[in-house]
């Protein structure tokens, strides 16, 4: 029986097409991984942290970045790589905060890749100990499969999306170093169970931290900032003992 369509006939061209597609995908990922390792080496040589923000469209990535960069102005030397299919609107919002930003438009592609990020990195004049925040293309599927050379992966989930998102997009949440539940100022108006969402996320990655916050009201932002400072301190210790 043909596995492609379930009929009793043979369709070797379909099977060959599937195999070719899988081979192309594997080759693309292998190439991407080589660029990611080059990015990681470039960042490590300069003592630079790079955080990859991933979320669905409208989860509040840009708003959180603007709030974070504004509140921590003078404490961290930062730059931002903005990924969108079109426009430079988000990069313009970041630059309005006085932070350098490079816009990467991916066209029909639904994610950033390591090659694009590598080109963006060299456009910055970053001092030792700087931080680069990547705002990936809004998507809870494709970005999860592409290593960009980042230090940490932060996945955002807004309360307007539903508390079952970790179960629906397990690969994304399985690879998260931190989960941020955003827009909690809207909790009184939506059906969202924070405890259940946290349970779902930790079913996929038991050790993952989950913070609930609002970039609009400022509630919960202190925990996010403490996580960043702890990561910075950890980085300093690793440099001093190297």
Structural domain boundaries enclosing 60? 12-240
pLDDT at 192 over 80: yes
Please report whether residue 136 resides in a domain. Answer: yes
Q: Is 26 exposed, middle or buried (0-12, 13-18, 19+ CB in 10 A)?
A: exposed
Question: Could you tell me the CA-to-CA distances from 86 to 23, 95, 105, 136, 198 in Å, in that order?
Answer: 29, 17, 5, 13, 33
- pLDDT-based confidence at residue 21 (cuts at 50, 70, 90): low
Question: How is residue 231 written in tokens?
Answer: 């990561």
The confidence score (pLDDT) of residue 15 equals 65
pLDDT at 11 over 60: no
Please report whether residue 200 resides in a domain. Answer: yes
- β-sheet bridge partners, residue 155: 54, 179
Give the pLDDT mean for 209-232: 96
pTM above 0.95, yes or no: no
Percent of the chain, pLDDT > 90? 81
pLDDT at 9 over 70: no
Q: pLDDT tens digit string along 84-142?
A: 999 999 999 999 999 999 999 999 999 999 999 999 999 999 999 999 999 999 999 99
- pLDDT-based confidence at residue 22 (cuts at 50, 70, 90): low
The confidence score (pLDDT) of residue 4 equals 43
C-alpha of 157 from chain center: 11
State the SS3 of 146-185: CCCCCCEEEEEEECCCCCCHHHHCHHHHHCCCEEEEECHH
pLDDT at 20 over 90: no
The confidence score (pLDDT) of residue 3 equals 45
pLDDT at 6 over 70: no
The confidence score (pLDDT) of residue 29 equals 82
Question: How is residue 159 written in tokens?
Answer: 């309360």
Please report whether residue 3 resides in a domain. Answer: no
State the chain's mean pLDDT as an integer.
90
Picking from 29, 8, 5, the residue whose alpha carbon sits closest to that of residue 17 is: 5
Question: How is residue 165 written in tokens?
Answer: 């998102």
The secondary structure of 198-217 as a DSSP string is HHHHHHH-TT-EEEE--TTT
> How many domains are contained in the chain?
1
CATH classification at residue 53: 3.40.50.300
Please report whether residue 173 resides in a domain. Answer: yes
Please report whether residue 2 resides in a domain. Answer: no
Please report whether residue 4 resides in a domain. Answer: no
Please report whether residue 6 resides in a domain. Answer: no
Please report whether residue 32 resides in a domain. Answer: yes
């Amino acid at each position: 029986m043909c596995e492609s369509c379930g009929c009793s006939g043979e369709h070797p061209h379909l099977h060959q097409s599937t195999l070719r597609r899988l081979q192309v995908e594997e080759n693309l990922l292998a190439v991407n991984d080589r660029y990611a390792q080059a990015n990681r080496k470039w960042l490590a040589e300069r003592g630079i942290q790079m955080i990859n923000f991933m979320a669905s469209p409208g989860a509040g990535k840009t708003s959180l970045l603007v709030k974070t960069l504004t509140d921590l102005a003078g404490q961290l030397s930062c730059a931002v790589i903005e990924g969108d299919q079109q426009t430079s609107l988000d990069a313009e919002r970041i630059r309005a905060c006085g932070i350098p930003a490079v816009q990467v438009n991916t066209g029909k592609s639904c994610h950033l890749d390591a090659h694009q990020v590598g080109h963006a990195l060299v456009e910055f004049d970053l001092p030792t100990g700087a931080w680069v925040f990547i705002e990936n293309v809004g998507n809870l599927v494709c970005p999860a499969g592409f290593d960009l050379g980042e230090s940490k992966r932060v996945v955002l989930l807004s309360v307007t999306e539903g508390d079952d998102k970790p179960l629906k997009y397990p690969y994304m949440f399985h690879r998260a170093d931190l989960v941020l539940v955003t827009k909690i100022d809207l909790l009184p108006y939506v059906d969202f169970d924070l405890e259940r969402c946290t349970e779902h996320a930790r079913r996929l990655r038991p050790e993952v931290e989950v913070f609930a916050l609002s970039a609009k009201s400022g509630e919960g932002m202190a925990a996010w900032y403490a996580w960043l400072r702890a990561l910075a301190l950890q980085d300093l210790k690793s440099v001093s003992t190297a």
